[in-house]
Amino acid sequence: MTEPSHDVTQLLNELAGGNRTVVDALMPLVYDELRRLAHLRLSRERQDHTLNTTALVHEAYIKLVNQQSVSWQNRAHFLGIAAQAMRRILINYAQGRLAEKRGGGQQIVELNEELAVQEGKAEELVALDAALDKLAELDERQSKIVEFRFFGGLTHEEIAEVFGISVPTVQRSWRMARAWLARELR
C-alpha cells in the first residue's frame, strides 16, 4: 500500500495537469485535515458566525481544486495553500460583516498566543490581514509562516516541510514576524 501523502501528491499533480476526474478521489484523503484546520480556525471566531466547519471546508476545497497555476509539492504544501484559502474566505466574511455593521473602522489589536484562542472579531481579522499584507511586502516568507500557523494551525514541522527549511529557521521567522506584527498592530 502506498503512503497517503504520496497518494495526495500524485492526485494533486494529476489535478494540476488538468485531470479533473481525481477531484472525487482527493477529497476523502484530505477531508479530515481540512476539517481540522477549519474547526481550529472557526473555534477562534464568534459563536454566531454564519460559516460552519463543513461550509468552510467546502468553500476552501472548491478554491483549491480550481487552482490553475499551482505546482503542488506535497500534502503539507496543500495544507498551507488551504490555510491561505481559509484566511481569504474568513477575511471576506469579516469585511462583509464590517460593511454591514458600520462601514469600517478598524480596531487596534495585538498578535499574541491569546489572540489565537480568543473569540475572533471582524475588526481584528481585518487589521491582522492588512498587517500581514504589509509584512508580505517586507518578508513574504515570514508573512506566510504567520498565515500558515495562525490561520491554518500548521505546526512548525509542517511549515518547515512546505518551505523546505529547518524547524529552527521557522521558529526564528515566527518569533520575528510576531514581534513585527505586535509593533505594527499597536
Please state the pTM of the whole predicted model: 0.61
Cα distance between residue 49 and residue 132, in whole Å:
23
pLDDT of residue 71: 76
pLDDT by residue for the chain (186 residues), tens only, comes to 445 556 888 888 888 788 888 888 888 888 888 888 888 777 766 666 667 888 888 888 888 887 766 777 777 888 888 888 888 888 888 777 777 665 444 454 545 444 443 334 667 777 888 898 999 999 999 998 988 888 777 889 988 988 889 999 999 999 999 999 888 888
pLDDT of residue 100: 65
pLDDT of residue 17: 81
User: Are the CB atoms for 135 and 142 separated by under 8 Å?
Assistant: yes
pLDDT of residue 125: 75
Which one, of 62, 73, 71, lies nearest residue 9 by Cα? 73
User: Are the CB atoms for 162 and 73 separated by under 8 Å?
Assistant: yes
Number of other residues whose CB lies within 10 A of the CB of residue 130: 14
Which one, of 52, 8, 14, 13, lies nearest residue 27 by Cα? 8
Domain span at residue 53 reads 4-185
Number of domains in the chain: 1
pLDDT of residue 4: 56
